[in-house]
Homo-oligomer: A and B are copies of this chain.
Amino acid sequence: MHKREIQDLLDLIRPKSLLQSISYILDWDQETYMPKEGISIRAEQQALISELIHNEATSPKLQSILSKYMHLSNGTLKKEFSQEENAILREVYRDYLQESRLPTEFVKHFKKVTTEALHVWKEAKQKRNFSLFAPHLEEIVRLTREKAKFLGYQDHPYDALLDLYEPNITTKILDTLFADLKERLITLVKKRSNDPKVPSDFLSAEISYEGQIAFSHKIMKDMGISPDTCRLDLTEHPFCLAFGPQDVRITTKYHPNSMIDTVSAVIHEAGHALYQLQLPKEEFGNPLGEPASHGIHESQSRLWEVYIGQSAPFWQHYAKELELAFPKVFKKIDWKAFYLAINQVKPSLIRIFADEVTYSLHIILRYELEKGLLEGSIEVKDLPRLWKEKMEDYLGVFPSHDAEGVLQDIHWSMGYFGYFPSYSLGSMYAASLWNRLQECFPDMEKRIACGDFLFIRDWLKDHVHSKGRLYHPLELIEKATGKPFSADDYLCYLETKYPIH
């Protein structure tokens, strides 16, 4: 229980969290079970909830109570509370600024433009024709530059956007991180891209829906996730949404002929789910009960999906489980075969299908383009050409049409500039946490090979999940790992797992 004066603030901001969680319920239902024709009223319901959230987030009452404790001009505290309570004030103020700096009319217009752009993007992608989408993207870029001005920044307009998804991460930090990463990854990819193909036919065996889902539930249970607090459903694109500290929904897509894709998505989303489930329940509705950033969230999903789920000991355990569950399909396929089949390095065109070595190069490419668009050094019309050039430079492949190039991602059509770096940061944070886990648990591989993951879940709770937004991402990783964050752990992990022969 917090001090009475802080509690007053928490009571005031609680409806916003409840409305946000209601909005997630509407999203989830829309993607899972809503009959097709339900969409028109659903859109209205969502718009109403958004408006109510915006009203709560910018209410004069909130401004008035915040101004009791801090100078609204610069965010300095008028009075110090406990470390936790200081963090609550700092983060509530942060949210308040982000919401209130954008004029309501601007937000509405931005929403209108992106809603239409999303529609056009889909068509353009289908027709493989960037020029259809280009005028809409130009308008979105123009508005996004305006948005950066509204939000404010010190050095670079892109910083204002990064800060929305990854507090305190700046263009300057990313430039340094990505420079080293880019060089060493390109080298690694070049050396490994002619690896001989390993046998993987067994991964395309047809496995029933019931079989795949039962196996997915088994892994969720092994990860320490209870059906009393988390459920799994099917959607076109897998996701994780938390409706509250004890009600988290994850989804996967059923791939009849690629069980590994169904299950990988489950492990990824279950990693997100564990983060939500292990946030401090009693802090629901305030920043201490919320995830630290998109990048930290992604670190949790990637840690489980890739670092654990694509590791040798994981398959030492689950190859046997698979053989037990599907004796005809996986008879005598040992863990090495699984491990090699799912860890092949192969430069490819589509980000979401990229292996872990090439993945960050897809992100760096997008980062460079977004930064250029924001500072005005790149124009929308040049994107397809630049995309091809960079793909060839970084990965040695290039798209034969826009749908497998510049049009592949949904993000720009929705106005999500500044989001992509979180994906790479997530993988890098995960590497540092993984490294630290190895130091803390020298027998980790043995335990994973026995299907024992609960010590990892618990460690993540203690060092990451339970902190909520107490620290900003880099600070949180530094506290959890005992050293300043850098790309070293990530590169070291990759260069060890994928040695250059």
| Cα-based distance from A246 to B228 in the complex (angstroms) | 31
Q: Which residue of B lies closest to A15 (CB)?
A: B48
Interface residue ranges of A15-60 to B (CB < 8 Å) = 15, 18-19, 21-22, 25-26, 29, 33-38, 40-42, 44-45, 48-49, 52
User: Cβ of A228: which chain B residues have Cβ within 8 Å of it?
Assistant: 35-37
Please tell me if A244 contacts chain B, counting CB pairs below 8 Å: yes
| Cα-based distance from A301 to B272 in the complex (angstroms) | 43
Q: Which residue of B lies closest to A19 (CB)?
A: B48
| Given A35-B231, A230-B35: A22 in contact with B45 (beta carbons within 8 A) | yes
User: Cβ of A45: which chain B residues have Cβ within 8 Å of it?
Assistant: 18, 21-22, 25
Q: Is the CB of B246 within 8 A of A48?
A: no
Report which of B40, B42, B52, B245 forms a contact with A41, defined as CB distance below 8 A. Answer: B245
Q: Is the CB of A246 within 8 A of B22?
A: no
Q: Which residue of B lies closest to A37 (CB)?
A: B246
Please tell me if A126 contacts chain B, counting CB pairs below 8 Å: no
Report which of B40, B52, B243, B248 forms a contact with A52, defined as CB distance below 8 A. Answer: B52
Please tell me if A284 contacts chain B, counting CB pairs below 8 Å: yes
Q: Is the CB of B48 within 8 A of A247?
A: no
Q: Is the CB of B231 within 8 A of A37?
A: no
Q: Using an 8 Å CB-CB cutoff, how does the interface string of A461-494 with B read, 1 for contact, 0 for none?
A: 0000000000000000000000000000000000
Q: How far is the CB of A470 from chain B (nearest CB, A)?
A: 22
Q: Using an 8 Å CB-CB cutoff, how does the interface string of A240-256 with B read, 1 for contact, 0 for none?
A: 00011111100000000
Please tell me if A135 contacts chain B, counting CB pairs below 8 Å: no
Please tell me if A376 contacts chain B, counting CB pairs below 8 Å: no
Please tell me if A7 contacts chain B, counting CB pairs below 8 Å: no
Q: Is the CB of B37 within 8 A of A49?
A: no
Please tell me if A103 contacts chain B, counting CB pairs below 8 Å: no
User: Cβ of A76: which chain B residues have Cβ within 8 Å of it?
Assistant: none
Report which of B22, B38, B245, B248 forms a contact with A243, defined as CB distance below 8 A. Answer: B38
User: Cβ of A244: which chain B residues have Cβ within 8 Å of it?
Assistant: 38, 40-42
Q: Using an 8 Å CB-CB cutoff, how does the interface string of A218-237 with B read, 1 for contact, 0 for none?
A: 00000000011111010000
Q: Is the CB of A22 within 8 A of B37?
A: no
Q: Chain A: interface residue count, which band? A: 35 or more
Q: How far is the CB of A45 from chain B (nearest CB, A)?
A: 5
Q: How far is the CB of A457 from chain B (nearest CB, A)?
A: 17
User: Cβ of A229: which chain B residues have Cβ within 8 Å of it?
Assistant: 35-38
User: Cβ of A42: which chain B residues have Cβ within 8 Å of it?
Assistant: 243-244, 247
User: Cβ of A243: which chain B residues have Cβ within 8 Å of it?
Assistant: 38, 41-42
| Cα-based distance from A333 to B233 in the complex (angstroms) | 39
Q: Which residue of B lies closest to A44 (CB)?
A: B18
Q: How far is the CB of A477 from chain B (nearest CB, A)?
A: 29
Q: Which residue of B lies closest to A284 (CB)?
A: B41
| Given A21-B45, A52-B52: A246 in contact with B26 (beta carbons within 8 A) | no
User: Cβ of A21: which chain B residues have Cβ within 8 Å of it?
Assistant: 41, 45
Q: Using an 8 Å CB-CB cutoff, how does the interface string of A265-284 with B read, 1 for contact, 0 for none?
A: 00000000000000000001
Q: Among A41, A48, A233, A284, find the residue whose CB has the most chain B CB atoms closer than 10 A.
A: A41
Interface residue ranges of A170-224 to B (CB < 8 Å) = none
| Cα-based distance from A19 to B37 in the complex (angstroms) | 19
User: Cβ of A34: which chain B residues have Cβ within 8 Å of it?
Assistant: 247
Q: How far is the CB of A273 from chain B (nearest CB, A)?
A: 11
Q: Which residue of B lies closest to A247 (CB)?
A: B38
Q: Among A19, A233, A246, find the residue whose CB has the most chain B CB atoms closer than 10 A.
A: A246
| Cα-based distance from A37 to B41 in the complex (angstroms) | 29
26 A/B residue pairs, CB under 8 Å, sorted by A? A21-B41, A21-B45, A22-B26, A22-B48, A22-B49, A25-B25, A29-B29, A33-B33, A33-B233, A35-B227, A35-B228, A35-B230, A35-B231, A35-B246, A35-B248, A36-B229, A37-B229, A38-B229, A38-B243, A38-B246, A40-B246, A41-B243, A41-B245, A41-B246, A42-B243, A42-B247
